Structure 1
Amino acid sequence: MKEFIQSLLILSALLNSTTGAVVMAYHRVGDRITLLMPMDGTDKNTIYVYWYFGEPETNILVISLNPYGNQGFGTDERWKGRVSMTDYSLVIKGIQEQDFTETFTCVIKQDLKTIATKKYKLTKITVSVKPETSVLAGESLSLACKVQSPQNNAQLQIHWLNPQREKRANGPTPGDLTVDKVTGRHNGEWTCVVTSGGKESYAKISVTVLDLSPAPLYPQYTSLSRSTRLNIPCSIPAPLSWKNFKEKGLQGGHWSFVPRLSPGDRQRLFNLSVEDKLTWKVEQERGLSASDPEKKELSLSKKGVTEADRGEYVCALEFKNGVTLERSIHVEVLEILSSSGLEIPAGQQVNLTCSLGQPLHADLQVKWIPPKSWCLPSLGPDPHPARLTIPEVVDEDCRRWGCELWRNKTQLTSADITLKIAPMSVWLLVTICGATVIFILLLILTVILLRRRRQRKMTPRHPKHKFCRCKNPKPKGFHRS
C-alpha cells in the first residue's frame, strides 16, 4: 500500500512537471533572487535535487542536495560564495551579466529516476533615471524601464509605481515615464513592474529630489501672552544633506517677511551664507533668532510677540541655475480686545473680543475662560462667540479673563487679559464735588423762590388809590378827587 501511494505521488509530480517549458524571470544586475523548485507533493526525504546552469547534459552543476541534507557544489568558480539552497530552492545573490546567458535547470530525482524538471530564463531589466544624481523640486524627471530581448512581447506589460505605491501612466513608449515639476513627494524608491503571463517582476531605483521640508498645512498660531513663544519652521528633510544641495549649485538663502497690513512691503530678515560654513547674517532686527543651519535647521523663533508679527514668512534657498526653493508660513496672533480698555469704571458695560485681527475662519472655535468666581451668561445660539459682553462691570469681573482658540479637538493657542476697576482721579473728584455744590445751591435757591411765592399768595391785597391831574391845577399840584 505504501509503495502504491508513493507511485501516485511520483506520477503526480511527473504530470505537473514543467519539462520543456521555460519560466521567464525578470531581474536587474546585482539583485538577489530565489528560483523555486517543483515539489508538487513529492516526499522530500527521498529525493535528490540538482541545479544546473544550462542543460543538464553540459554538466555545469551549480549546487545539489541529497535526502540527508548534504549540499554539493560545482567546480565552476563563478558560483563560489554566491549560491545556496533554501527548502530546495536556488538562491543567488548578486546577479551578474553572465547569469543572463543560459537557463537555470532544476532536476529532481528519486531512485535514480528523473521525476521532474523546471527551467528558468533570466531576462535583464534595466532601469535608469535622468538626472542621474538628483533633481531640484520644480524640475522634470525622466524614468526608463527596458527589458532585454523579451519573449512573448505581446503579453509583456510595463508600468511604474511612485514612492507612495501609486500606479503612474507611461509615456508614448512602454516603460518610459516623465514627471513634470517634481516635489518632495517624488523623493524615494520608484518601482518598475514587468508583468508577463500573469506574474509580476519588480525593479527598483532610488530618486533624490532636493526640496525643503513641507510647510505646515495651517498657519502658526501664537498670542500676546508673555509665556508664548513663536516658532516658524523650515528645515532640510532628514535623508538629504547640504552636500546634495551644494552639488546642484546652492548659492545662498534668505528669510523674508510680508506684513499683513502692508502686503506690498516685503522685508528681508536674514541672509544665508554658504561659503565655508553656513551662517546667518541679520538684515533686520525684529527680535527673531535663527536656528543653526549646519544642523539642517533653518527655523526662526521669537519670544514676546506683538500684533506687528502677523503676516507671511518666506524661507528660501537659491541656486545658480535660477531655481529658488521656497516655503511660506503664515503667522496669526491671538489677542483679547476690550471695548473700554483695561481700567473700566464700575457699572459700565464692556465687550471683550477674541481676535486674530481679521474674521475667524469657519473651522475655528473660541472658548472663553472666565474668572473662577464668575459664570458665563447664556451665550445665545452661538456656543463659541468671538465676542463676549459683560453688562455691568463689578469687582468680581475685574480679574484675569482668557480665551482659547480651537480647531476641532486641537487647541491652537490662548490669550488672556486682566481687567481692573478704574480708580477715581482728583479732577473727577473735584468735578463730582463741584457738581454736588451746584446742585445744593440750585436746590436752596429753588426752595427760597417757592417760599416767596407762597408768601405772596397768602398776603391780602388792598385797593389801589387812583390819582389824576386837574385841568386847572392848584398851585400846590395834585389833589384828591
Structure 2
Amino acid sequence: MKNLILLLIAVLMSTTTKTGAQEVQVVYAEVGQTITLKAPDGLPSSNYLYWLLKIDDAKPLAWRNSLGGKQINEHWKDKLALNVDSLVIQNIRQEDFRKYVCKVTLNSGTHSTITYEVVKLTVRMNPPSHLLHGETLFLSCAVETRPGPEIHWLNPHGEKKYSQLTIRATSQDNGLWTCVVNNNNRAQVSVTVLDLSPAPSGPLYTSKARPLNVPCSLGPKITWEQLRAKNLTEVFWQFFPKPDSPPQTLFNLSLKDLTWKSDQNFGLRPVPDAKKQSLSLTTSRAKEENRGDYVCALKFPNGMTLKRTVHVEVLEITSSPGTEVVSGQQLNLTCSLGHRLPSGLRLKWIPPSGRSLPSLTPDRHPDHITIPEAGKGDGGKWSCELWQNGTRLTSTEITVKIEPKLSVWMLVVICSVAAIVILVLILSIILYRRRQRRMGHLRRQLCQCKTPKPKGFYRS
C-alpha cells in the first residue's frame, strides 16, 4: 500500500501530463531567462512544424516545412528564434508565462500535438550581491503552481539542500548554487563570500637565522573594491608573544593608497605590494623573539571582523658555557622551541662528522645533550632537526669550537716570557733614572759663576 501511494505521488508530480490525445509538458523558467521548446523526437522527414499559442490559432507564432522554409510572426520576431526542431524564447517576461503548442502535420493530416506550459520559477538571494564571512545568507526557490514540484538546492560542492534555507556564510559557500526542479529544470545563482584565504592548519615552524613567511591574503577573485563596498574600515597585523599577553600592533594598512605603516616590526616586513591581494609578513632571518601568534585582520562596521591567526614556532640551539669551549670542560647543548615539546614531535641530533652520538650522555630531556669533558672531536657543526610523523618540519645548527688545554710547559714558557718582559721594563726604568741624575749633576757644575758673562762661559 505504501509503495502504491509513493508511485501515485510520483505520477502526480511528473512534468509531463496527458489530456486526451494531447500531451502537456511543464517547463520552469525565470524572468529574463532564455528557454528552448523542443519538438518530439523521431518526426517523419516530410512534416510541417507549427508553433502556436492555442491549438486552433489561425496564424502561428512560427512555422517551418520539410524543404527548409521557415517564418516567424511579425509581432514576435524580436522574441523568438526557430531552429530545425525547436522554438527558442528569449528574455522571458511576465506575460510569456503561458502555454505554447507544437503541432506536427503531414500531407495526410495532423501527426501529433504537444503543449508546453511555461511556469514562472522565482529564485531569491539575500543579500543580492556579495557578503562577508559570517553574514546570514537566505536562498529561496519556488514556482507558481499547486501542487508544487519537487525543488531542492545543490551547493557549490554538489550537496543537496532544502528549497529554502538560511545559513551563516563561509568560504565553503562561495560559488554557484543550483536550484533543481523535478530533477530536470535548473536555475543558478552566484554567491560571493568575502573572506581571507585559509590560515595554515597547524603551527608554522622555522628556525633561528632561517627565512620566515607569515601568510595572509585575500580569498581567490576577491578585490579591494568589493571590500570597500562593504565599508572596510581597517586592515592591520597584531602580535601576541604569549597566549595571555596583550596584543602588540605591528602594521596598519592605509586604505587610500594601500601602503603599510609600521608601529613595531620585530624584524618583519610586509610584502611590497598589497594591491596584489597578499598581506603576508616576511623576514630573511627569523629570531627567537618571532615566536608567538600573528593575527591578520580586516575590520568592518557593526563589529564584523575577518581575521586569520598564524602560530609561529622558532627552533634554536643554545650552547653552555658558549660556542668556544676549552678542552676538558663540560659542554651542554639544548635544542628547543622555547617550551616543552608537544606530543607527536621529536628531535633528531646530528653531531659533527666522525662523532658518534650514542657515546654521548643525554639527560632526562630529549632536547638536551651533556658532554662531561669536551674533546677535539666534539668541535664542529651540530645540527638539530624537528620531525613529525616521518616529516622533517625544520632544522637548525650551531658551530662549537674546542680550544686545547694549556700544558705545564706552555705555562712555564708564558711565565718566563712574562718575567723577562718585567725585568726588561725594570732595567729600562733604572737606566732612565741614572741618566736623569747624571744630566742634573753636569748642569750644576757648568753653572757655578756668580756674575756670568752675557756671551758664553768663562773659567773662574
- TM interval, shorter chain, is 0.7 to 0.9
- 2:434 is aligned to none
1:203 is the counterpart of 2:199: no
Structure 1 residues 46 and 283: alpha-carbon distance in aligned structure 2, compared to 1, 3 A threshold: same
Percent of matched pairs sharing the same residue? 41
Report the Cα offset of residue 80 of structure 1. Answer: 4.0
1:46 is the counterpart of 2:53: no
- 2:158 is aligned to 165
Report the Cα offset of residue 310 of structure 1. Answer: 0.4
Contact 1:83 1:90 in 2 (8 A): yes
Q: Tell me the secondary structure at the aligned position of residue 243 of structure 1.
A: helix
- 1:152 is aligned to 147
* Equivalent residue runs for 1:383-402 within 5 Å: 393-402=374-383
Report the Cα offset of residue 252 of structure 1. Answer: 1.5
Distance in structure 2 (CA, Å) of the matches to 1:393 and 1:65: 103
Distance in structure 2 (CA, Å) of the matches to 1:312 and 1:281: 20
Contact 1:19 1:119 in 2 (8 A): no
Report the Cα offset of residue 317 of structure 1. Answer: 1.3
1:60 is the counterpart of 2:60: yes
Contact 1:229 1:302 in 2 (8 A): yes
2:239 pairs with one of 247, 257, 269: 257
1:190 is the counterpart of 2:177: yes
Distance in structure 1 (CA, Å) of the matches to 2:20 and 2:341: 71
* Equivalent residue runs for 1:69-468 within 5 Å: 70=68, 72-80=70-78, 82-85=80-83, 88-100=85-97, 102-147=98-143, 149-153=144-148, 156-169=149-162, 175-180=163-168, 182-195=169-182, 199-225=183-209, 228-260=210-242, 263-274=244-255, 276-291=256-271, 292-338=273-319, 341-346=322-327, 350=331, 352-374=333-355, 376-377=357-358, 393-408=374-389, 410-424=391-405
Long gaps (5+) in structure 2:
1-17, 361-365, 416-460
Report the Cα offset of residue 326 of structure 1. Answer: 1.4
Report the Cα offset of residue 400 of structure 1. Answer: 1.8
Report the Cα offset of residue 158 of structure 1. Answer: 2.4
Report the Cα offset of residue 372 of structure 1. Answer: 4.3
1:21-76 Cα deviation digits (max 9, x unpaired): 3111112223343434322xx3x56243625142343232335352x5x2513123
Structure 1 residues 34 and 373: alpha-carbon distance in aligned structure 2, compared to 1, 3 A threshold: farther
1:156-211 Cα deviation digits (max 9, x unpaired): 23222222222234xxxxx432113x22222222222222xxx4322211222222
Distance in structure 2 (CA, Å) of the matches to 1:71 and 1:376: 93
Q: Which amino acid aligns with 1:190?
A: W
- 2:449 is aligned to none
1:388-416 Cα deviation digits (max 9, x unpaired): 66686443442223233344465432212
Q: Which amino acid aligns with 1:256?
A: Q
Task: Supply the RMSD in Å over aligned alpha carbons.
Answer: 3.5
TM (norm. structure 1) is 0.71
Q: Which amino acid aligns with 1:78?
A: W
Distance in structure 2 (CA, Å) of the matches to 1:352 and 1:105: 89
Report the Cα offset of residue 130 of structure 1. Answer: 1.6
Contact 1:38 1:117 in 2 (8 A): no
Contact 1:46 1:110 in 2 (8 A): no
Report the Cα offset of residue 376 of structure 1. Answer: 4.9
Distance in structure 2 (CA, Å) of the matches to 1:123 and 1:424: 98
Distance in structure 1 (CA, Å) of the matches to 2:38 and 2:406: 97
Q: Which amino acid aligns with 2:70?
A: G
Question: How many positions carry a matched residue from both structures?
Answer: 391
Structure 1 residues 65 and 242: alpha-carbon distance in aligned structure 2, compared to 1, 3 A threshold: farther
Distance in structure 2 (CA, Å) of the matches to 1:352 and 1:220: 24
Report the Cα offset of residue 123 of structure 1. Answer: 1.1
Report the Cα offset of residue 17 of structure 1. Answer: 12
Contact 1:251 1:319 in 2 (8 A): yes
Distance in structure 2 (CA, Å) of the matches to 1:369 and 1:111: 95
Q: Which amino acid aligns with 1:152?
A: P
Distance in structure 2 (CA, Å) of the matches to 1:65 and 1:395: 103
Contact 1:404 1:411 in 2 (8 A): yes
- 1:3 is aligned to none
Q: Tell me the secondary structure at the aligned position of residue 298 of structure 1.
A: coil
Distance in structure 2 (CA, Å) of the matches to 1:72 and 1:302: 72
